[in-house]
A and B are shown apart, each in its own frame.
Chain A
Amino acid sequence: MAAKNPAQTPNVSAEELLGYYREMLLIRRFEEKAGQLYGMGLIGGFCHLYIGQEAVVVGLEACTKEGDKRITSYRDHGHMLACGMDAKGVMAELTGREGGYSNGKGGSMHMFSKEKHFYGGHGIVGAQVPLGAGLAFSDKYRGNDNVTFAYFGDGASNQGQVYETYNMAELWDLPVVFVIENNQYAMGTSMKRSTKSTTLYGRGAAYGIAGEEVDGMSVLAVKEAGERAVAHCRAGKGPYILEVKTYRYRGHSMSDPAKYRTREEVQKMKEERDPIEQIRSILLTGSHASEDDLKAIDKEIKDIVNESAEFAKTSPEPDLSELWTDIYA
């Protein structure tokens, strides 16, 4: 898999490049701040950061249109920011406050936005795959051409329900893009220690589903593959699999020391393949933006993230009456 040379990728304007840079940077700075707030005890429980994987969701969100749906696992902060959810509401959910997207009742792993068609945020590994196919089922039932993005990891790829879903999604031509975010480690277990069938995109072939491998460190490569997948689904040809090779810089969750891989491996990824640095370099070498332009974006992002942290610290805890609401509609 050769990393695509972005300079040769047509159909991407300087404005779009700047947009990707901005979105990826927002996710990274947001996640760093979340890590910091976790360290301060302001965020509790499990907290799974998306740092390193930013290009996946930003590249795919660039392929969406209004009404498209997305659903993912518990590593969900990036997906929410990329689909336009407000950083303040996401951060305040992490701190369990009234201003959070779920009024503090969902937490890091369970967040939703009906308005942005973001269907969670699911804590059970693999559960979002049939749920995502079900969202696609609802669009097909209604006869529109919307597409659902069902994100899951290499770890979830070994859950049986993924294959039950592949079977029915293809049987019923459901408009769902199965996005396997292959960051190579299912918590602490590397791919090669969990399966001999390591070409995950190829596993759909048994059910007749087309799939491809994508360089998940390149937002442009992700977008290009995403456009193919979306066109396939919108045309009523059924599901499509994208195995996006990515890498998480941090541990599985905040309490994971990540001793199952070397510091050098992580360092090499950061130095040679970082998705944000790649775009930054294209912007500067192609004279699409100046250092000052990028600094202004950095500053803007920093302000958004700081504002979200401030909001998340000052928003009150939910009223105790919230304990008893939203159990039944």
Chain B
Amino acid sequence: MAIEILMPALSPTMEEGTLAKWLVKEGDTVKSGDILAEIETDKATMEFEAVDEGVIGKILVAAGTEGVKVNTAIAILAGEGEDVSAAQAAAAAPAPAAAPAASSAPVAPAAPATPVANTTPDWPEGTEVRQQTVREALRDAMAEEMRRDPDVFLMGEEVGEYQGAYKISQGMLEEFGAKRVIDTPITEMGFAGIATGAAFGGLKPIVEFMTFNFAMQAVDHIVNSAAKTLYMSGGQMGAPMVFRGPNGAAARVGAQHSQDYAAWYAQIPGLKVVMPYTAADYKGLMKSAIRDPNPVIFLENEILYGKSFDVPVLDDFTIPLGKARIARAGTDVTIISFGIGMTYAMDAAEKLAADGINAEVIDLRSLRPLDYDTVLASVMKTNRCVTVEEGWPVASIGNHLSAYIMTHAFDYLDAPVLNCTGKDVPMPYAANLEKHALLTTDEVIAAVRQVTYR
């Protein structure tokens, strides 16, 4: 059967080109791979090869012709012993598929049903609790999950023999052995990639970054390999794993070791992001994160590691990802925070109460998925909102919440939403400068006074 040779698209953006030169003439026999012509695109001159075998029956577009549209027939290829004139009548090649119908833009949100906060308690009333540090809660969570599931393992720098750079994995090497508590060389990109590959292979790695500052070396594997593979594979395989470690400012360690990555990771579809405050949340959320079939970024805080909280005494205590906690009920203003930001939020709320301002404090705990219903239900009740986080102000979690609240609860607001954040500077070393770069309780109090006009 005669075949039309069409003007090819030779780049992702080419729509037309110049047929610079023919390297075959009518009557020539060609086989696949032979160069037929040179074609100039907007960027380069390309050689154009034959795919099918046959005899060049007719050249339809002369050498030197400019502006030849892609998919125009430029020559006719006749099959063995075929009449060339018949070839010219060959049917036009099928046109490329039409572009999909434009989808409705997902800009205008549907009017939400009245949002309701999920106020189910994290553990049943009357459950025995005991004081535990965040450090102990984290270790217990990992150890319990490793006892429960042999596919879970811990990998990172100094997690084994050293017992953890921050002593989070204390005792774990002794209990689980070197097969499951794996000391790595200092090679974040490499071991993040290996762990992600192991997760593709069906294991459930917990990757400890000594701090999240060092995860910048590994961010390609977190974002491009771990977060996107489920989507790119059409749901066939993903990365059930946890990336964890201390995040945010510690104390006097300067710019490269003091950064909050909450907003960075919260931006990535495919990742789940958790940043807890209390020891109970560290425990319950870590256990859920390990069981979750998706990659979870678990942002810890060095200053909180030694802080004690009530933790329920339960055999298997978990908290679902994506559920916020109302840390303090109130009526006059909603303060939204997470992680160490909760220190300032709670401190401010107590001081404001003394002045007769009754703040509701929401601890988001999870940043992706984010518990929008609890946020909206509270703001619709208090009509005022202040967000509190340690990270930088530009493209912050607070910025996102402000936009979300404006879009979904504009009519309920009696004041603009204000964002309390760290200052827009690299973290300085000098003690006095560092103090000023960080968020303070006074700033939260001032913001609340501003939105409550008091």
Q: Do A and B bind each other?
A: yes
Where the two chains meet, the residues of A that have a C-beta atom closer than 8 Å to any C-beta of B are 29, 32-33, 35-36, 38-42, 44-46, 51, 69, 71, 95, 100-106, 110-114, 119-124, 127, 129-139, 141, 160-161, 164-165, 167-168, 171, 249-251, 254-259, 263, 270, 313, 317, 320, 323, 325-329
Tell yes or no: B80 within 8 A of A by CB: no
Q: How far is the CB of B157 from chain A (nearest CB, A)?
A: 12
In the bound complex, do residue A130 and residue B194 qualify as a contact, i.e. CB atoms below 8 Å apart?
Answer: yes
The secondary-structure label for the interface of chain B is loop
Q: How far is the CB of B372 from chain A (nearest CB, A)?
A: 16
Tell yes or no: B185 within 8 A of A by CB: yes
* Contacting residues, chain A, for B48 (C-beta < 8 A): 39
In the bound complex, do residue B235 and residue A325 qualify as a contact, i.e. CB atoms below 8 Å apart?
Answer: yes
In the bound complex, do residue A255 and residue B32 qualify as a contact, i.e. CB atoms below 8 Å apart?
Answer: no
In the bound complex, do residue B197 and residue A41 qualify as a contact, i.e. CB atoms below 8 Å apart?
Answer: no
* Contacting residues, chain B, for A101 (C-beta < 8 A): 233-234, 236
The 7 A-B pairs of least Cβ separation, nearest first, read: A134-B197, A130-B193, A39-B8, A164-B190, A138-B201, A255-B11, A131-B197
If the complex has contacts A46-B12, A119-B200, A168-B185, are A114 and B194 also in contact, measured as CB distance less than 8 A? Answer: no
Residues 30-66 of B at the A interface (beta carbon under 8 Å): 32-33, 41, 43-49, 51
Tell yes or no: B232 within 8 A of A by CB: yes
In the bound complex, do residue B96 and residue A41 qualify as a contact, i.e. CB atoms below 8 Å apart?
Answer: yes
Distance between Cα atoms of A328 and B9 in the complex (Å): 36
Distance between Cα atoms of A44 and B196 in the complex (Å): 29
In the bound complex, do residue B232 and residue A120 qualify as a contact, i.e. CB atoms below 8 Å apart?
Answer: yes
20 A–B contacts from the bound complex (CB under 8 Å): A32-B49, A33-B51, A38-B8, A69-B201, A95-B97, A106-B233, A120-B229, A124-B225, A130-B189, A130-B221, A131-B193, A134-B199, A134-B201, A138-B202, A165-B193, A167-B187, A249-B33, A255-B43, A255-B44, A328-B230
* Contacting residues, chain A, for B45 (C-beta < 8 A): 257, 259
In the bound complex, do residue A127 and residue B225 qualify as a contact, i.e. CB atoms below 8 Å apart?
Answer: yes
Chain B: CB-nearest residue to A166: B190
Given contacts A106-B232, A106-B234, 7 further A-B contacts (CB under 8 A): A32-B33, A71-B197, A119-B237, A120-B229, A133-B194, A134-B195, A249-B33
In the bound complex, do residue B224 and residue A124 qualify as a contact, i.e. CB atoms below 8 Å apart?
Answer: yes
In the bound complex, do residue A257 and residue B190 qualify as a contact, i.e. CB atoms below 8 Å apart?
Answer: no
In the bound complex, do residue A134 and residue B11 qualify as a contact, i.e. CB atoms below 8 Å apart?
Answer: no
If the complex has contacts A133-B193, A134-B196, A165-B194, are A317 and B10 also in contact, measured as CB distance less than 8 A? Answer: no
Distance between Cα atoms of A114 and B238 in the complex (Å): 10
Distance between Cα atoms of A255 and B13 in the complex (Å): 10
Tell yes or no: B267 within 8 A of A by CB: no
In the bound complex, do residue B193 and residue A329 qualify as a contact, i.e. CB atoms below 8 Å apart?
Answer: no
In the bound complex, do residue B190 and residue A112 qualify as a contact, i.e. CB atoms below 8 Å apart?
Answer: no
Q: How large is the interface on B (under 10, 10 to 19, 20 to 34, 35 or more residues)?
A: 35 or more
Q: Which of B71, B194, B294 contacts A40 (CB 8 A)?
A: B71
Q: Which of A35, A40, A127, A329 contacts B220 (CB 8 A)?
A: A127
* Contacting residues, chain B, for A313 (C-beta < 8 A): 94, 97
In the bound complex, do residue A42 and residue B97 qualify as a contact, i.e. CB atoms below 8 Å apart?
Answer: yes
Distance between Cα atoms of A33 and B49 in the complex (Å): 11
If the complex has contacts A42-B97, A113-B236, are A168 and B229 also in contact, measured as CB distance less than 8 A? Answer: no
Chain B: CB-nearest residue to A249: B33
Distance between Cα atoms of A164 and B217 in the complex (Å): 12
Interface flags, B443-454, vs A, CB<8A=1, else 0? 000000000000
* Contacting residues, chain A, for B198 (C-beta < 8 A): 134-135, 137-138, 141
* Contacting residues, chain A, for B187 (C-beta < 8 A): 164, 167-168
* Contacting residues, chain A, for B220 (C-beta < 8 A): 124, 127
If the complex has contacts A39-B9, A106-B234, are A168 and B190 also in contact, measured as CB distance less than 8 A? Answer: yes
Q: Which of B197, B230, B231, B270 contacts A135 (CB 8 A)?
A: B197
In the bound complex, do residue A112 and residue B232 qualify as a contact, i.e. CB atoms below 8 Å apart?
Answer: yes
In the bound complex, do residue A127 and residue B193 qualify as a contact, i.e. CB atoms below 8 Å apart?
Answer: yes
* Contacting residues, chain B, for A134 (C-beta < 8 A): 193-201
* Contacting residues, chain B, for A114 (C-beta < 8 A): 233, 236-237
Kindly name the residue among A102, A136, A250 whose own CB sees the greatest number of chain B CB atoms within 10 A.
Answer: A102
Q: How far is the CB of B4 from chain A (nearest CB, A)?
A: 11
Q: Which of A44, A104, A329 contacts B293 (CB 8 A)?
A: A329
